[in-house]
């Protein structure tokens, strides 16, 4: 399954950790990268000057169209049994291109889509325990 998450939220990482940003934190070891999903430097600069979600979305979708043949090849080769998390910088709850990438995957390979910012099984189980079980006595 494919998930998306921030580098900073390890509880949301599943399987292989794949960068979809222009860079990764120096302290973070990724298992690979998919540069065709990274926004261009000019788009990021424009976002810093004028953070308009509709404008960003339109430009990013245009960049995706330019890389469509590589993206299609990658999507064809995805095995839904292979867990991976596509990672970038923004924390959950903030606008991020990974949500646009997630929608693309969900639309074209719903059999592989696990979700965005989803806690791993171990973290979900810890969070589902009654307070008396998780508190130290």
Mean pLDDT by 10 residues, the chain (137 residues): 95 95 95 97 94 95 95 94 95 92 95 88 42 34
Supply the pLDDT for residue 119: 82
Supply the pLDDT for residue 111: 95
Three-state DSSP class for residue 101:
helix
Provide the domain limits for residue 83: 2-134
Supply the pLDDT for residue 120: 66
Number of domains in the chain: 1
Q: Which strands make up the sheet holding 113-116, listed edge to edge?
A: 32-33, 16-19, 84-88, 2-6, 113-116
């Amino acid at each position: 399954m494919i998930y998306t998450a921030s580098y900073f939220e390890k509880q949301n990482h599943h399987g292989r950790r794949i960068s979809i940003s222009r860079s990764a934190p120096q302290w973070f070891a990724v298992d690979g990268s998919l540069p065709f999903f990274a926004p261009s430097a000019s788009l990021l600069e424009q976002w810093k000057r004028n953070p308009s979600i509709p404008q960003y979305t339109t430009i990013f979708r245009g960049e995706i169209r330019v890389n469509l043949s590589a993206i299609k090849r990658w999507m064809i080769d995805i095995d839904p049994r292979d867990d991976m998390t596509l990672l970038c910088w923004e924390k959950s709850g903030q606008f991020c291109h990974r949500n646009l990438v997630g929608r693309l995957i969900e639309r074209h390979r719903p059999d592989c889509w696990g979700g965005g910012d989803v806690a791993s099984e171990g973290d979900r189980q810890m969070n589902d325990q009654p307070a008396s079980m998780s508190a130290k006595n």
